[in-house]
Amino acid sequence: MSRPFSPRPSPFAGSFVRVNGKIRAREVRVVSQDGKQLGVLQLGEAINLARAQGVDLVEIAPNATPPVCRLVDYGKFRYEQAKKEKEARKHQHANKVKEVQLSATIDSHDFGVKVSHAVDFLCDEMKVKVTLRFRGREMAHQEFGFQVVKKFIGEMAPYGHPDAPPKLIGKGINLMLSPLPRNKRAKNPNQGAAESSANDTREEPGQSAEAETGPEMELQKSGAIIAPKPAPAAFGNNPFAKLDLNPREENK
């Protein structure tokens, strides 16, 4: 016997709002367009009041007793709600955390690669967790590890700031970096470098035409430079035909 599937929640279930005649309560607490309390009114009276002002009666707090309704244009209300949800999603994106691992004896090139990755993460509104692990006898020289972490913080200064000073936890140093606001944060240098390299690889218009109409081509057309002769017809169009010849014939 198969078990019935539970119904999937609708993506618009949380954003459903009752308006005007779809409100089920008999009495509602009405709020004007200016935010003033108009008191508890019968549902019919509240709807007539909204129609008189040329707006809608929108239920904004259905779980209250009695439910709270606001006199507002429904289209404007939906626009404001969508704008708030978009801002909330931006803040949720900032909650993502990326990890960058360092070492006390990290090479300068590897250090630069780690810095580049961290800059990309911070410019994408992500937090960066920096971890440095000590191995073996490196625990006896913890100052080198803290020097590497402080240097990393200095490189990240234009893009992010540490939430707290670096701490030694167990056999490693942990640090959390948060992105700076966009108006205070420097531009991502990696993005600009990628765009410049993409522009350099593009072929300039007319470049092939200039190569064909160069000075060498003009001299060749005039006869001053003799064009190279084509390969002998004995070999045909096969560039490897000479390799197929019998060595005895070549000696002849």
Q: Is the per-residue pLDDT at 233 higher than 90?
A: no
Of all helices (H) and strands (E), which one includes residue 92?
A: helix 74-93
Measured CA distances, 70 to 15, 48, 73, 137 (Å): 16, 13, 9, 68
pTM for this prediction? 0.45
Residue 198: is its pLDDT beyond 50? yes
Each residue's pLDDT tens digit, 98-133: 999 999 999 999 999 999 999 999 988 889 999 999
Compute the mean pLDDT over every residue in the chain, rounded to the nearest whole number. Answer: 77
**pLDDT score recorded for residue 230:** 53
Cβ(153)–Cβ(175) below 8 Å = yes
Give the mean model confidence (pLDDT) for residues 47-57.
Answer: 88
